Structures are given as structure tokens and as C-alpha cells.
Structure 1
Amino acid sequence: KVRQSLESLGEFRFIQKLENLKEPGKLKVDYQSGDWSPCSQQECGKPDGAQVRLLKCRVFGLDDGSVAYVEDEICEAYGILRPPSTKACHNPDCPEWESNDWTECSASRCIREQTSIQRREVKCIFVNGTVADFGLCSRKDRPKIKKECQN
């Protein structure tokens, strides 16, 4: 299968080197990963963006250090799992949610028997510490500002 893939991709020099290989067990197969692209998220407060990277199945392990790229089926045949080529991301220039500690669970502020409410402050903050408008932070990631507690 490796040879067929190399032939279909025109890797004839690598095929010649394979034929001269004295220890075929040295041959290795894996995925080479490219760098992640910049985050596609353009506007703060909008849904997450995505990052992508190029993945190529490669054959290597020859004495001269040469590498050949082959079809993904070769990596699959060797049991090599394809790493993710996309991931969710946030624009690093966008502000993030920050929250303080919860207030104490006060018995003097019960909403029903042995149940009170705890609160905390939540802010939308840029990396430099500047407070931002709530609309610039992701609405779905906003932390809760109150919760019930038992006292």
C-alpha cells in the first residue's frame, strides 16, 4: 500500500530508497501537523471562531532523513489516528468574563426555609484590566451572578 501511494503521488526517488532499505522495521509513519491559523473570530461578543491546520501523512525513517508524503489511508492502515485539524477559538484581543467570590450564605436573607441567595460581581474585562461593555464578552460564557444556598 505504501508503494502504491508513493507511486500515485510521483515519489519515485523515495521508492528507490525504500528498495535499498536494509531494515524495513525502521520505517515510520505519522501525521505532520502545520501551524494553527489565526482565529477566524472577527467581532468580540459573537460566537467563537475557528482555527485550522494542515495535516499530512508522512513516511520517514530512512538513513538519509528523507520524508515522503502519502495518502491518509496509509496512516490509517498503520493505526495512526488523525489529529484534529480544526478547533474553536476566541480572538485574543477580545475581553473575557471575570467574577469575584460568592457572598456568604446569609441566614438573614432567606427566600424560603433554610435557603438564601449568594451573589457575586461579574465583569467583562480586557487583558490590560480595563472594564469593557458586557456586549463585547461572549453571552453564552457569562458566569452566573446569583445562586441558591443552604444555611
Structure 2
Amino acid sequence: MVTTAQEEVQAAMERDDYESPQVSESSKEESISPVVVLGKGSPENLKFDWMITGWSQCSQTCGGTGFQMRAAHCMVRLHNTTQNVDGNLCEDAGLATPPTIQKCGMEECPRWRADAWTSCEESRCFTWNTAMQRREVSCQLPNGSNVDTKLCSERNKPPQRQECYNEKCKGTWKVGEWSECAAPCETQGIKYRILQCVWFGTKKPAGNACRDQPRPSVMKVCKGRPCSQ
């Protein structure tokens, strides 16, 4: 005759020889409640129930592939005594095992959104015939609202700058006004002017972009004012 685990527990109780199974010290520490020896009692007073823990944090907050787990322990109760026992006993008592794993993080993950590039003609020149275009890149939810950029993958972030051809990016010399002649009256002297390399059609400094352009003079000989009588 085949007996269930629950019937074996009840039979052992009737013989007054049911003791808790031998467990290691580490198992005792992990038990939901202290290990105890069940005393005499009628089988109808023997009650089984599942004790479950809360769900763990989701392994992934979005994307639909996350999961979370929890523990389920079968508990047997007799009067004021409770013990953690094998899960088969709860199943034999007609108690279905609670789910211990479930999907989570089903929401769509935030994604990068890149705006249009700035016009190359209006972009800042940085070398001969070459400008640097820029664009705004933001991290957004599916509904279009912006969120912290840390929520989007840095590895998949679109570039925010790129080179582009701009024929206006040519260096040209910009010359200032001549200074007054630095010389005593009726004598020979020198006057100066400021010279600056800028991008064509702008006042923006162009560094060494004028190195291949003829360099205007920045000083010349002059004669001092007529001496007063």
C-alpha cells in the first residue's frame, strides 16, 4: 500500500516517535522558524501552509526580459508549534506550490533621440574647408518625455558632433588701422597695425589657417609731424 508523506507524519505522531529531520547548523540558520520536536496530537490538528517571502528586485527594469524570485517554505503547525518541512507535505495536503519566479520589467526601455544636425554653413569652422556640425541628443521614454541620460545605454549613444564640408572655412587676414607715427618731428619713424587671421566673412579667429596666404605687412616707415616754429 502506498502512503503519502503526510500520512507517514501522522502515523509517526500516533507512535509518538516523530522527530524533526537532522539538519546542519547552516540549515538551522536558514530555517524560517526554530527546529522543534512535534509532540502528540490528533492528525486533524496537523495543519500545513506555505510561507512565502517578498519578491526580489527585478533583474532588469525594462525591455521585457527581466525576472524576479521569491522563496516558498512549507510549514507544519500543531497547536502553538511550527516547523519548516519538505514541500511535498504541503502538496500532499492539497496546497499547490506558489510560483517562485515571474517576469518583470515589461515596459519599453528609454531610447536615445537625436535632433537634426545644424547647418554646415552656419557651423563653426575648425580647419580649412571643414566645419563641425552639432546636434542635440536626449534620452527619452516611449511617450517622448526626457529622462536622465544615465537610463540610456552610453554604448548606443548617437554622435553629437561630426565634420562637414564648408567652403567658407578659409582663413583670411584681417588688418587693423595704422598707428600714429612713432617719431619726433621731422624725423623718420615707424608705425604699426594689428594683423589677425580670421575665418572668411567672420570675425572669428582662425588660428594658423592663414599660413598659406600672403602676409600683409604690420609696420612701415613714416615721418614725424612738422616741427612747430
TM-score by length of 2: 0.34
Higher relative contact order (CA 8 A, sep 6+): 1
- Determine which structure has more spread, i.e. the larger CA radius of gyration: 2
Which structure features the higher share of helix residues? 1
What's the TM-score, normalizing by structure 1?
A: 0.49
